[in-house]
Structure 1
């Protein structure tokens, strides 16, 4: 927060003229403070408290110029902001939180990456899974063929009690085999969809 002015040449000149007047009823304290201020080389910083005293004196004595005239080419003195030191405990906690967040982000990015998939030759577990999958497909196809053949045989043999002609028996066996085959295909497709994760 600012508490002083950086005064310019106009302040120097007018205060110097004011201090040189012989009939000046200026208090010793104010005269000394202003004299010390003018003797400084370089940037002159006028505290607000001294500016108030000077303003009060000018008002009391009825001088023809005012304080704002002295400070026309002046500016506010803005002290340099000193950054307070950071609490070491807080810094340590922030580092831990940053590391944890970075680790969570990394795990989120790599959760669907399997290091075994990156191996070109594959592992024994992958080979076993492929063998089991191929075995399941072969058993399903074999089951489908056995069901079709058994349905045809049963229909053909059972139809001899209804039909005497061979043509009628074959047609009835083909119709029964088609119905059972379509039903078996429907069940097979639904099972395969379930294995692949489709609804």
Structure 2
């Protein structure tokens, strides 16, 4: 935070003998402090600006004194050419333990990002089979898919055949009842009605079984993809 200003030539001339502040009869203490602030670092190899650092406290005291005397000499005129002194901010040294911890966290985050990027990359090591090992995995995957499709077809076909063959007993019983009703005066069933009904029943059962098999296949594939 700024607490001083670099006095301009106007303020230096006003405090000099015969200057504008001499008729104001400044208090001895205030004049001594102002002159000491202007002359404190004078000489040596220091730049002249560094010898003109005047604290704000002295400037306030000077302004208060001029106001009390009703002087026609205004402070903004005396401060013409002056500048606020902003000291260089000195950064405190960083904690070595904190720096080491931050570097460790950065390395860990970089490793995690690298693992995420290379998660689906397959390393081919000639000592463990290389391309032949990958080819074997692909062949086993294709074999598993073919076996799954074959099992699906066999299951659906078996459900269709079993339903079609088993339904003949049901429809035979219905046919025998139809003949008995005919003997009692009821109309007989039309020929060719029972086989289409047996096919329809077999198709329905096979469709239900096929849907169930598809559901199981989808759930298994989702589990395998989740593991990948």
TM over 0.5: yes
- Residues 1:134 and 2:146 aligned together: yes
Aligned to 1:196, the other structure's residue is in SS state helix
Structure 1 residues 140 and 64: CA distance shift in structure 2, 3 A? closer
Q: Identify the match of residue 115 of structure 1 among 122, 142, 151.
A: 122
For 1:133-172, list aligned pairs within 5 A: 133-155=145-167, 162=175, 168=191, 171-172=193-194
Aligned equivalents of 2:102, 2:80: Cα separation in 1: 49
Q: Identify the match of residue 198 of structure 2 among 161, 176, 186.
A: 176
Q: Identify the match of residue 87 of structure 1 among 95, 115, 127.
A: 95
- Residues 1:33 and 2:41 aligned together: no
Q: Which residue of 2 aligns with 1:6?
A: 6
Aligned to 2:48, the other structure's residue is in SS state coil
Instruction: Tell me how far 1:108 sits from its aligned partner.
Output: 4.9
Instruction: Tell me how far 1:53 sits from its aligned partner.
Output: 6.7
CA RMSD in angstroms, aligned pairs only: 4.3
The answer for unaligned runs of 5 or more in structure 1 is none
Q: Which residue of 2 aligns with 1:42?
A: 48
Instruction: Tell me how far 1:11 sits from its aligned partner.
Output: 1.1
Q: Deviations over 1:128-165 (max 9, x none)?
A: 2321221122123123334434444455577667469x
Question: When the two structures are superposed, what TM-score results if normalisation uses the length of structure 2?
Answer: 0.60
Q: Deviations over 1:79-133 (max 9, x none)?
A: 111122211111112222233334444555555x3538xx987442332232122
Structure 1 residues 37 and 66: CA distance shift in structure 2, 3 A? farther
Question: When the two structures are superposed, what TM-score results if normalisation uses the length of structure 1?
Answer: 0.66
Structure 1 residues 175 and 120: CA distance shift in structure 2, 3 A? farther
Structure 1 residues 46 and 143: CA distance shift in structure 2, 3 A? closer
Contact 1:144/1:184 (<8 A) preserved: yes
